Amino acid sequence: MYGLGIIKGIGVTFKHMIDTYIEDIKWGVKRYTTDEGFTYRQSPETRGLITVQYPEEKMAVPERFRYIPFLVTNEPDDPEAPNHDWCTSCGICAKVCPPQCIWIVRGSDPQTGRPIPEPEAFFIDIDICMNCGYCAEFCPFDAIKMDHDYEIASYDRTTSHVHDKAKLAKPISYWQTIAPTRAEQERLAREHKEAAKAARKAG
C-alpha cells in the first residue's frame, strides 16, 4: 500500500515521544533531580529524550577530560615549601607541544647563574592550545595537568588569553578533586619511584 512506509515511520517518531512520557511516569521527578536519574537518562539503556538541561544541569566530565593545561603546585599551607611549583622547567612540554603554545623561562640561581629546577616564567597561549594533552602525558614530574574547566569565555582575547604562571598555578588538591583516581595512581607511582631510588642509594 502506498504510504504505508510513511505511516510506519511516523509510528517510530510517535513511539519515541511516548517513550519519554513512560520514562517520566516510571521515574517521576527523580529522572530530573537525582544523579541516578541522570545516569540512567545518559546511558545506553535510556529511552526517549536524552537532553541535558544545560546550564541547570551539566554533565560532569570524565577524569581524562582535557582542556587548557594548568601547573601543579604544593598546597598554600604546605609545611616545607608552600605553593612550590612542581615544574622543573625541563622543557619537555614546550618541545612536545604540537602547536608550540608553551613558553618557559628556565630559572637560574642569581648568585651562580646556574640553571635551577624551577621555572622563572611560564606562559601558555590558550588561543593556540589545541587541548591535545601531550604536555600532561609526557611530563615526567606530574607537574602539568589538563584542566576540566571548560567555561572560560572572556570579553577580551588580547589581554586575557595568554596565561602566565600565576594564572596557571593550581594546588595539587585541585587535581585530586577533579581526577581522584588518576591523582591517587600517580601518587602511588611517585612513591614507588622514590622508594626504588632510595633502595638504589642504600644498596
Interface residues with other proteins (CB under 8 A) are: 2-6, 8-9, 11-13, 16, 35, 38-39, 42-45, 50, 52, 55-66, 89, 91-92, 94-98, 100, 102-106, 115, 121, 123, 125, 130-134, 137-138, 146, 148-149, 158, 162, 164, 177-178, 180-181
Q: Of 129, 162, 159, nearest to 146 (Cα)?
A: 129
Whose Cβ is closer to other proteins: residue 61's or residue 186's? 61
* Nearest C-alpha neighbor of 47 from the set 31, 65, 30: 31
Question: Please, which residue, 73 or 107, has the CB nearer to other proteins?
Answer: 107
How far apart are the C-alpha atoms of 127 and 123, rounded to whole Å?
Answer: 12
Burial of 145 (0-12, 13-18, 19+ CB in 10 A): buried
Residue type, 134: Y
Which is nearer to other proteins, 12 or 25 (by Cβ)? 12
Selection from 41, 26, 27, 68 nearest residue 153 by Cα? 68
Nearer to other proteins, 73 or 102 (CB): 102
